[in-house]
Structure 1
Amino acid sequence: MDIGWAKRRIQGLMQAVVALLVLLLTGSIVPVNRGFRQTPGGIPVYVVSNGLHTDLVVPLRESRTHTDWLAHVADSAIKQQFASYQYVAFGWGNEGFYLDSYGGHFPRVGTALRALLPSATLMHVDFYRTPPRTGERAVALHVSPAQYQQLVHIIEHSFQPDSAGRFVLRNGAGYTSEDFFFRARGRYHALRTCNDWTNSALRRAGIRAALKAPFAPTVMYQVRQIQQDTVDR
């Protein structure tokens, strides 16, 4: 065995790991769309977090953009149950991690490790009777109709629909009676996490976000800066 070759391979691997860590750390603090400002009287969008995971919460129906999220759901029982609700939350994530969390359990070590590699995903959909209460774990933004339509497009495209374009249920129930899991597009891995999905959706819609945000605190930091910019104006 060529010891020099093996040594070069190890050094190359270490350099790649260091470069990845630098990307994650610096990307987390570098803002994109720094000039974004909230739209007075705009459409309310909430970014919520449980400390580990982030969701986007949007109006269940929005008249200016003619958006009705229940129209995408084939299940008539769901449509009837949530017809009077006001908001809906969307989160994208690892299928195994989500399903292993039933009953309030933290996923097993093996499930967490497998999530580091490309794996199947789900969309978590949670219905809200009223807007989220803003505070430590929820930030409210007001965006323009054009920005909101971009968010709608990104969220819609994250689902894996049936032949009729409707969202496909993965399970008959989620963690509570008000949330569900649907089939999703894309593969989850260490560089494409649930929080990176939220961050990417904000960034692609022209809303301030991080260059890279694998963790929830980074997502929340950037959206809080939007609020601070509003106060400072």
Structure 2
Amino acid sequence: MTAMRTGIRWLVRTVFLLVFLAACGTVIPRPLIAPVKASSASSIHRILLLSGPIHTDIAIPLDEETRAAFSFLDAPDFPLGHPDAEWLVVGWGGRAFYLETPSWAELKPLPMLRALTIDRSVLHVGLAGHITEPQPSVTAFDISDDQMARLLHFVSDSFLRNAGEIAPIADAGYGEIDRFFDAKGYFNALFGCTTWTAAALRSAGLRTGLWNPLPQSLRLSVDVYN
């Protein structure tokens, strides 16, 4: 009984500590000093933060620059030049959970366990048509040419490459125009998809929280500091 009480106390303390750290990570900006605003003469590119209850993606406009930067993705079954494709939607996550849980109805114990511990990472890339704004799950940012170039480099550099070639995962995808690829880094519950998304936004000169493990905390941070 004493051991059980001790275990419960430690569990409560751990949960409290994580909640406290998440709160601090949300209200403390990263970087602490706001970047210098780009010249108003710079071209403006609109990017989107797409957020759900447990996952976030970044939507990048499919213009000539984006198509050129991601030409290595272009294929007959993934046509970057499709006339109805307006956005390249990219997300990062744990391999087991991402691949094996396309919906909550398909949740399995092993992928959940891997997500709570440590797992290899993957990138999920899809093509999207028109995305309606405004809506609660969409946050838009206008960035300059230089900021866009840095974002494109960050995302491109997140692909794991073997001898310079990206590593697609065979027969993996949720629909007809999305693909999975091996990615750099390892996934765990404390540093998961939303922390990658936050890093991508920071690469584009935007401010996030110091640590944003949840979509809700990232949305709050970017709303406050940008």
Shared fold (TM-score, shorter chain, > 0.5):
yes
Q: Residue in 2 aligned with 1:31?
A: 29
2:171 partner letter: G
For residues 187 and 127 of structure 1, the distance between their equivalents in structure 2, rounded to whole angstroms, comes to 25
Alpha-carbon distance change, 146 to 70 in structure 1, aligned in 2, over 3 angstroms? closer
Among candidates 43, 47, 50, match of residue 49 of structure 2 = 47
Alpha-carbon distance change, 171 to 16 in structure 1, aligned in 2, over 3 angstroms? same
For residues 38 and 19 of structure 1, the distance between their equivalents in structure 2, rounded to whole angstroms, comes to 38
Alpha-carbon distance change, 44 to 109 in structure 1, aligned in 2, over 3 angstroms? same
TM-score normalised by L of structure 1: 0.78
CA drift of 1:49 comes to 1.1
1:156-198 Cα distance to aligned partner (Å, 9 max, x none): 1111124244x32213341111211111111001221101110
Alpha-carbon distance change, 134 to 107 in structure 1, aligned in 2, over 3 angstroms? same
Structure 1 contact 85–129 (Cα < 8 Å) conserved: yes
Aligned length: 215
CA drift of 1:132 comes to 4.7
Does the alignment pair 1:114 with 2:114? yes
TM-score normalised by L of structure 2: 0.80
Alpha-carbon distance change, 137 to 85 in structure 1, aligned in 2, over 3 angstroms? same
CA drift of 1:89 comes to 0.6
Unaligned runs of 5+ in 1: 1-6
Q: Residue in 2 aligned with 1:61?
A: 63
For residues 154 and 208 of structure 1, the distance between their equivalents in structure 2, rounded to whole angstroms, comes to 15
1:126-159 Cα distance to aligned partner (Å, 9 max, x none): 1012345331000111011111112111111111
For residues 14 and 21 of structure 2, the distance between their equivalents in structure 1, rounded to whole angstroms, comes to 10
Unaligned runs of 5+ in 2: 1-5
Q: Residue in 2 aligned with 1:3?
A: none
CA drift of 1:218 comes to 1.1
Structure 1 contact 38–142 (Cα < 8 Å) conserved: no
1:219 partner letter: L
Alpha-carbon distance change, 77 to 108 in structure 1, aligned in 2, over 3 angstroms? closer
Structure 2 contact 143–204 (Cα < 8 Å) conserved: no
Alpha-carbon distance change, 168 to 69 in structure 1, aligned in 2, over 3 angstroms? farther
1:24 partner letter: A
